[in-house]
Structure 1
Amino acid sequence: MNSNNFRNLRNIGVIAHVDAGKTTTTERILFYTGENHRIGDVNDGNTTMDFDPQERARGITIHSAATTVHWQGTQINLIDTPGHIDFNIEVRRSLRVLDGAVVVFDGVAGVEPQTETNWRLADEYRVPRLAFINKLDRVGADFLRVVASLQERLGVRALPLQLPIGAEGDFRGVVDLLTMQALVWDRDDASAPPRVQAIPPELQSAAEAARARLLEAAAEQGDALLDAWLRGDELPLDDVRAALRRGTIAGAFVPVLAGSAFRNRGVEPLLDAVVAYLPSPGEGPAAAAAEGPLSALAFKLTADDHGAMVFVRVYSGKLKRGDTVFNASTGKAERVSRLYEIHADQRVERDELVAGDIAGVVGLKEVLTGHTLAERKDAAVLESIVVPEAVIDVAIEPRKQADAAALSKGLGMLVREDPSLRLRQDPDSGQTLLSGMGELQLEVSIEKLRARFGVEVQVGRPQVAYRETIAGTAEVRHLHRKQSGGPGQFAELTLRVAPLPRGTGIRFENTVVGGAIPREFIPAVEAGIRRAAQSGPFAGYPLVDFEATLVDGSHHVRDSSALAFELAAAAALREAVMKASPVVLEPVMAVEVITPADYLGDVIGDLLRRRGHVHGQDARGNAVVLSAEVPLEQMFGYIGHLRAISSGRAQFTMQLGHYAEAPKSIAALAA
């Protein structure tokens, strides 16, 4: 595929907070593009994109699902992503390979926590976006209020392309501000196209003012258009659309559209906007270079009855069935058995993939999420995918000892598929600990073990995934010497440790000069430090946010080896940490509670009793939205208590805010 062909291709994702109507919007897209001849319903459990049995049973999206549709001569590769924070890794890896996104907002709730999180991820990956304000038929929906919340909470220039006609139950259409025509849906029937008519008189003035702002934003995207606008000339619509496209791709503004996906209103104009304003693979900040050798990123792995499949985005070159390629991240060769275009849970075999394609590859044995596929082992490695922190642990073991091997295999596959899951051994109890981003993610993972691998397991109560770090600095000299008849082991080194800011991770520095430690042993020192940090010496939790500096050392010509220096480094780190004021860190969650005003005092008091800090409250209709930070240790079982004190009317969401030093009483219990 050359860059000219890119014009007719869009790789987009649909992202949102849970329950904003994201999957419902996607199902309507499938219907209007002719991919489906019936509309799936989340409540009925028969959607195309949520095809996993757990998704249909729970009524939420758990896995990102890909499909391909066509609209007005343009191919759209579409990924529907989860809205629940526990499955945020699915959003991260999808945004990493997409060229554009449709962000769905609840017309009542506006900007919600997970929408904001996903928006920041899209900023990080420089993904141009359209905003679709959904559910405008609901009581309390307010298009202009949501537009204002986009600007205030997300810090973007929200640019309406439409104004809604009617409100709440009377929402029936939109005003197209470019053509200054009204599109009205007389019935909820998806097969009935909108009726084009004149703008209602009561909206004429507001539409003219909104159109003036739209034209001004477009004019700012080009000197010739700006000059014509300043002269008061009528701007050609094609030129305006081209300017809006440039501005959207550059991130100058975010076009905003209105609708109610459930009532089949506003979806066709949304598809028109995807084609008109979102970039092709050859455009935008992360434009693909079609020509040149193969370069592709593996962004997702799945395993089913057909075997393991790796989802890839091809950035340049071609990938053919039967090709031998290199994993540039590991240097190992892999052979491609089959290539598939994905349509939710259906597959269409392909002979080759070209630049811009997002598809599935079968046959790759050791490729993981974030690895780069290329024609040469020494090819440039593409930017990988940042994996979020795990904050909750559960101990897991088979009900029957005979299932131990199957459990080990199943856990290995789950962790390979989902890099936000972690697996480790408790150093004290020897139990296997599965860690994740939340209770729901762990519940889903455990259900997969039963359904896919036939393993019944016993699961302990969820526990907080603490971390440990150091508050001070220390320097130690450690000698590792072992003699047992044959070749000995000798390694001597001086190691200094110092704290780093929260979220930095582990940093290793080598300041040894003069060959005191041969260069070939330095990687072993770093490996020993990182291995020892997996289970800290103070409380047994992963050790984070510190710098380890190799200051000095010595070696023996015969007895020194990489293994000796790795063991010495691990022992030196443990010794140094215990001298550097070790502390326990606990995850602190960013919590948002939506409560009727009548229960506000009780909700705030309860959060304070949970060691929470309330740092903001806003009105949302007749409810109040509280923003708070609360230690995760205090949030287990919170939903039941919140319902009890609010007569079942309050709700909440939470996600990891940061790690902070735990109080001494909590640290003592954790240790």
Structure 2
Amino acid sequence: ETDEALIEKYLEGEEITEDEIREALRKGTIEGRIVPMLCGSAFKNKGVQLLLDAVIDYLPAPIDVPPIQGTMPKGETVERVADDEAPMSALAFKIMADPYGRLTFLRVYSGVLKKGSYVLNSTKDKKERISRLIVLKADDRIEVEELRAGDLGAAVGLKHTITGDTICDEESPIILESLFIPEPVISVAVEPKTKQDMEKLSKALQSLSEEDPTFRVSIDPETNQTVIAGMGELHLEILVDRMLREFKVEANVGAPQVAYRETIRKSVQAEGKFIRQSGGKGQYGHVIVELEPGDTGSGFEFVSKIVGGSVPREYISPAEQGMKEACESGILAGYPVIDVKVTLIDGSYHDVDSSEMAFKIAGSMAMRNAVMKAAPVLLEPMMKVEVEVPEDFLGDVMGDLNSRRGQIEGMGSEDGIAKVTAKVPLAEMFGYATDIRSKTQGRGIFSMEFNTYDEVPRNVAEAIIAKNQGNA
């Protein structure tokens, strides 16, 4: 069907050779009309060789696909063709911790990358030296002198390059289309089982976060716990399992925490006044602000409308910093405040007692007062969930999604398999992988990705706020 000459041969009863079949399959695959499907098991090493052969036989070579597009420093879009003579450009697509040093996996899109050369990390505008180049084949590491256009390999010794960065010739800088890295939606506290493992745990977490840009590690300033965040329960389970297998660190993992956010629903005016007299030099800071809801996705926006020097210029930045920090630490229930616009409209100062710290505290107080007056609400991450189940189990699955505060957005059916699309709060999705298997005799599958932040229903929000204030 992909080749007229083959159809004629088939209809005339002539024998079609294996090479001709392969060529026709390759043509159909590159045009997107055929999807080759192979069976196998990586775990049992069955069918892996056939898969690799199929990649070579059917998938497009670098010269069969359109040139990669990138952005020049001045913003114009250019193309780089897969040619050894073109200026060198490559994309770092994976980082791996290795006993011999940090490996940065690269896909060379154009030009030649040579061992010992100096290159530019155009994403970070930093120079890097390629000390060694290797090609990996299973467990074998083959040292090579160069990687050419279309090659995949790894560089040893890059200090600044992480997943998604572009490296290129210094004379011809370009930034290739970068990876989209979504924000993590689930976090858990993690601690080593023994005090001796503390250092090993921090090294393991640092290596894993370098490898995986969707995995974040932070220290909770209030509880001093190490918090790891990722894209879902399974993601974090695998990372904890890898810590045990690869880094020999046994860790206790706390209950998952949802990344709630706070925002406001109305515009208000508020003031923050910090006055302290304690014999000698005192403290004096006073600001008046207007707070209003910002655009979705705007985060924290600050505008100063001070005229006539009611707040000296050197105190405006500390006041903004105090407001920003108040937003980051949360006001209603301890979660970051997002999508707000703050306007500093007035204030006062004292010639002797005013200081940067006093205005920082005054800014923080003004922010807290304003948010509490501005109808604050909690927001929760909503996940786009797609479920595929045999039609017999559709009723049970839909009932279960509704009980999880889900909103069914679409349904369809094909060959006895029902597909349901829904928007469900992440807080209600913990343990869903197990639940769907038990409800569908192990035949249901689902995928989940972050969709948006929505307001939490009042009764649920009250319970979250009460719980957090109890922990404070």
TM-score tier, shorter chain, comes to 0.7 to 0.9
Task: State whether structure 2 residue 260 is matched by structure 1 residue 260.
Answer: no
Deviates more, 1:635-644 or 1:328-337: 328-337
CA distance in 2, matches of 1:306, 1:405: 20
CA distance in 2, matches of 1:568, 1:374: 48
Residue 268 of structure 1: CA displacement?
Answer: 7.6
Over residues 124-172 of structure 1, what are the superposed CA-to-partner deviations in whole Å (9 max), with x where a residue is unaligned?
xxxxxxxxxxxxxxxxxxxxxxxxxxxxxxxxxxxxxxxxxxxxxxxxx
Within 5 Å, give how 1:501-580 maps onto structure 2.
Answer: 501-502=295-296, 504-512=297-305, 530-551=324-345, 569-580=363-374
CA distance in 1, matches of 2:213, 2:127: 22
Task: State whether structure 2 residue 80 is matched by structure 1 residue 288.
Answer: yes
Task: State whether structure 2 residue 103 is matched by structure 1 residue 278.
Answer: no
Structure 2 SS opposite 1:668: helix
Contact 2:300 2:324 in 1 (8 A): no
CA distance in 2, matches of 1:374, 1:558: 55
Residue 395 of structure 1: CA displacement?
Answer: 1.6
Contact 1:480 1:490 in 2 (8 A): yes
Residue 280 of structure 1: CA displacement?
Answer: 3.7
Residue 609 of structure 1: CA displacement?
Answer: 1.9
Residue identity in the other structure for 1:261:
L
Task: State whether structure 2 residue 449 is matched by structure 1 residue 623.
Answer: no
CA distance in 1, matches of 2:276, 2:112: 54
Residue 455 of structure 1: CA displacement?
Answer: 1.7
Within 5 Å, give how 1:291-370 maps onto structure 2.
Answer: 298-312=92-106, 321-323=115-117, 334-343=128-137, 346-351=140-145, 359-370=153-164
CA distance in 2, matches of 1:515, 1:383: 47
**Alpha-carbon spacing, 1:257–1:521, altered in 2? closer, same or farther (3 Å):** farther
Residue 440 of structure 1: CA displacement?
Answer: 1.0
Task: State whether structure 2 residue 454 is matched by structure 1 residue 660.
Answer: yes
Residue 403 of structure 1: CA displacement?
Answer: 1.9
Structure 1 SS opposite 2:33: strand
CA distance in 2, matches of 1:178, 1:552: 79
Deviates more, 1:472-481 or 1:514-523: 514-523
Residue 449 of structure 1: CA displacement?
Answer: 2.0
Residue 334 of structure 1: CA displacement?
Answer: 4.8
**Alpha-carbon spacing, 1:523–1:428, altered in 2? closer, same or farther (3 Å):** closer
Contact 2:109 2:149 in 1 (8 A): yes
Residue 196 of structure 1: CA displacement?
Answer: 5.4
CA distance in 1, matches of 2:216, 2:436: 30
CA distance in 1, matches of 2:103, 2:308: 47
Contact 2:70 2:177 in 1 (8 A): no
Residue identity in the other structure for 1:260:
M
CA distance in 1, matches of 2:7, 2:451: 45
Question: Who is 1:471 aligned against?
Answer: 265
Residue identity in the other structure for 1:577:
V
Structure 2 SS opposite 1:388: coil
Contact 2:384 2:421 in 1 (8 A): yes
Contact 2:331 2:368 in 1 (8 A): yes
Task: State whether structure 2 residue 209 is matched by structure 1 residue 422.
Answer: no
Task: State whether structure 2 residue 423 is matched by structure 1 residue 646.
Answer: no
CA distance in 2, matches of 1:402, 1:372: 39
Over residues 601-654 of structure 1, what are the superposed CA-to-partner deviations in whole Å (9 max), with x where a residue is unaligned?
222222222222223221110222222222222222233333333344333332
Residue identity in the other structure for 2:251:
V
Residue 390 of structure 1: CA displacement?
Answer: 1.6
TM-score by length of 2: 0.73
Over residues 286-327 of structure 1, what are the superposed CA-to-partner deviations in whole Å (9 max), with x where a residue is unaligned?
622889987765554321212223345667887654455665
CA distance in 2, matches of 1:566, 1:182: 82
Question: Who is 2:464 aligned against?
Answer: 670
CA distance in 2, matches of 1:444, 1:647: 24
CA distance in 1, matches of 2:430, 2:156: 41
CA distance in 1, matches of 2:360, 2:174: 29
Residue 394 of structure 1: CA displacement?
Answer: 1.4
Task: State whether structure 2 residue 254 is matched by structure 1 residue 460.
Answer: yes
**Alpha-carbon spacing, 1:646–1:328, altered in 2? closer, same or farther (3 Å):** closer
Deviates more, 1:606-615 or 1:518-527: 518-527
Residue identity in the other structure for 2:412:
D
**Alpha-carbon spacing, 1:317–1:473, altered in 2? closer, same or farther (3 Å):** farther
Contact 1:339 1:362 in 2 (8 A): yes
Residue 593 of structure 1: CA displacement?
Answer: 2.4
Structure 1 SS opposite 2:371: helix
Question: Who is 2:18 aligned against?
Answer: 193
CA distance in 2, matches of 1:500, 1:585: 14
CA distance in 2, matches of 1:329, 1:489: 44
CA distance in 1, matches of 2:131, 2:63: 37
CA distance in 2, matches of 1:353, 1:562: 54
Task: State whether structure 2 residue 27 is matched by structure 1 residue 176.
Answer: no
Contact 2:86 2:110 in 1 (8 A): yes
**Alpha-carbon spacing, 1:617–1:520, altered in 2? closer, same or farther (3 Å):** same
Residue identity in the other structure for 1:668:
E
Residue identity in the other structure for 2:303:
N
Contact 1:642 1:648 in 2 (8 A): yes
| Superposition RMSD in Å | 4.7
Residue 273 of structure 1: CA displacement?
Answer: 4.9
Residue identity in the other structure for 2:464:
A
Deviates more, 1:651-660 or 1:341-350: 341-350
Structure 2 SS opposite 1:633: helix
**Alpha-carbon spacing, 1:524–1:318, altered in 2? closer, same or farther (3 Å):** farther
**Alpha-carbon spacing, 1:387–1:490, altered in 2? closer, same or farther (3 Å):** farther
Contact 2:91 2:108 in 1 (8 A): yes
CA distance in 2, matches of 1:269, 1:343: 15
Residue identity in the other structure for 2:458:
K
Structure 2 SS opposite 1:287: strand
Residue identity in the other structure for 1:537:
I
**Alpha-carbon spacing, 1:354–1:549, altered in 2? closer, same or farther (3 Å):** farther
Within 5 Å, give how 1:381-530 maps onto structure 2.
Answer: 384-426=178-220, 429-478=223-272, 493-502=287-296, 504-512=297-305, 530=324
Which residue among 358, 374, 378 is the counterpart of 1:584?
A: 378
